Amino acid sequence: MSDSGKSGSGQGGSSRGSGAGGAGQRRGGGGPSRRNAQGRERNRGPRRSFTENAPSQRTRRADPARLVAFEVLRAVAGEDAYANLVLPARIRQHGLDRRDAGFATELSYGALRSQGTYDAILARCVDRPLEKLDPAVLDALRLGVHQLLAMRVPAHAALDQTVGLARAVIGAGPSALINAVLRKVAARGLDEWLAELVAGEQDENKVAAIRYAHPEWIVRALRQSLVAHGRPVSEITELLEADNAAPVVNLVALPGLGSLDEALESGAVPGELVEGSALSSGGDLGRLESVRSGTTRVQDVGSQLVARALAAATLEAADFEAADAGTADAARPGAGNNPAGEAWLDLCAGPGGKAALLGALANERGATLLANEPAPHRAKLVSQALSAVPSDVWSVRTGDGREVGSEQPAAFDRVLVDVPCSGLGALRRRPESRWRRSPKDLADLGPLQRELLNSALAAVRPGGVVAYVTCSPHPAETTAVVSDALRKREDLELLDAGSVLDAVSLGGGLEAGHEKTAQLWPHVHSTDAMFLALIRRKR
């Protein structure tokens, strides 16, 4: 969000940006003390006024909203944490109100999202390689750059508050360096900086990488992905811009169990793509009882659509339907205590968002759900996510999903295999991930994705359906994996995933289908870039 009106209310303005150190402090009765970038005293002399206050005159405390953003950046860089998990806890810890929470969210997400571009600008303003800077100082600089170039924070307030933050949490030594560097940054607007950075560059991928703050390899990958899924490559600018837009929080009320009434009363609006969804401007959704109870959940609409598509896909009659109940139960161990109903499987269930929605749908349909997750701590998260669903509907298995197909062959009617992937489809919600990933991840994940899909295909019964899902549009993780599976087996067929998505959406017409698979897009559907293939095992 922008910082409109902040300058007069204390979040970034002069009322909270005035110096706390006292003007003209002297040592031994001499002139004002001036320090270099290492914090050492420089030769005294007439003080030049570059900004409203010199570093020694500025505030020495950290503004709470900016402190939250700084702590988020430090956790991401130093602890390999995810911003969307760290930020809510820090907001609660520091007791930020809704407005300050919004400011902290925009500041932390914006600095993380545009890190590559901001680092390129900083490299022009720092007299040493950025990797030689203390990481905490670099994070403080990134926060300052975002305020100066992308938020409506007055320049003097951005400088004052960033230096104050540094003095409070890093130390007095780096404050002169931070002040000097940010003064150089503030001398130009963002458009001027971008023009300088791309001047003379002919490679359109490199230009886009700088202008839209994506690693160059991701720009190339997304161009390839658009073409692979039947969209014009000219949409690349819209896609990159959509990745950089602040995402709206998506909510889902678990079917038959939850209600959106409380969320709507708190300012959310009904979603336009899928039944039982809502869009929220954010804030602390944990204050809602429906969210705390788990009957209403935060979940991207793309995830809601692919889960509902699996539940709606047409099955072929099972061979055992003509058999007696005892034979049916023996043939379908995944059905558990409900041999008369369908048995569903979520093969890669952690942390449990899609499992919760599938569990609620299974409850409505008289089906059962087995949720599998290999990591014990994530399996606990799956159980917590499913806790709002009647306990006789679901169970959680902790184990390797690649073994389920051999341990429970042909046991399930519907199988979701939401495989680990590069996450290139969720860059808007996970702003730091674009700088963590590399092309090597695609190569490393490919064998695991294929093994999990093979396990799912072994676990589904003849006539049943597997939903292969990724939060990535990259063809190496999507169409290539599905094509390999279809090429190796003759008992598989693709259902028209685009038509099924249309059927479960409000109004249809998503235009997500291409060659029987489906790809959602941030710039087209305002969802994560979820890929869906519905594969039916022939009888």
- Minimal CA–CA distance to 470: which of 434, 494, 445? 445
Would you call 471 a catalytic residue per the annotation? yes
Helix-helix angle 353-365:376-386, to 10 degrees: 40
* Residue 469 backbone dihedrals phi, psi, to 5 degrees: -130, 140
HEC string of 36-57 equals: CCCCCECCCCCCCCCCCCCHHH
Q: Which residue out of 125, 348, 421, 471 is catalytically annotated?
A: 471
Whether the CB-CB separation of 367 and 336 falls below 8 Å is answered with no
What does the alpha-carbon distance between residue 115 and residue 209 come to, in Å, rounded to a whole number?
11
Question: For residues 496 and 508, is the Cβ–Cβ distance under 8 A?
Answer: no
How many Å separate Cα 277 from the centre of its chain?
18
Alpha-carbon gap, residue 105 to 109, rounded angstroms? 6
CA 344/CA 359 separation, integer angstroms: 9
Q: Phi and psi dihedrals of 515, rounded to 5?
A: 50, 45
Q: Using N-to-C axis directions, what is the helix angle for 135-150 and 175-186, rounded to 10°?
A: 30
416: helix, strand or coil: strand
Q: From the CB of residue 444, how many other CB atoms can be counted at a distance below 10 Å?
A: 12
CB 309 within 8 A of CB 497: yes
Spatial distance between the Cα atoms of 10 and 7, rounded to a whole number of angstroms: 6
Among residues 515, 511, 519, which one has the least CA distance to residue 477?
519
State the amino acid at position 83 in one-letter form: A
Q: What is the DSSP letter of 33?
A: -
In the DSSP assignment, the letter for residue 496 is: -
- Chain mean position to CA 518: 21
How many other CB atoms are there within 10 angstroms of residue 95's CB atom? Answer: 9
Q: What are phi and psi of 450, to 5 degrees?
A: -70, -40
Burial call 33-53: b when 16+ CB within 10 Å, e when fewer = bbbebeeeeeeeeeeeeebbb
Q: Which helix (H) or strand (E) holds 185?
A: helix 175-186
Q: Which residues are catalytic?
A: 471
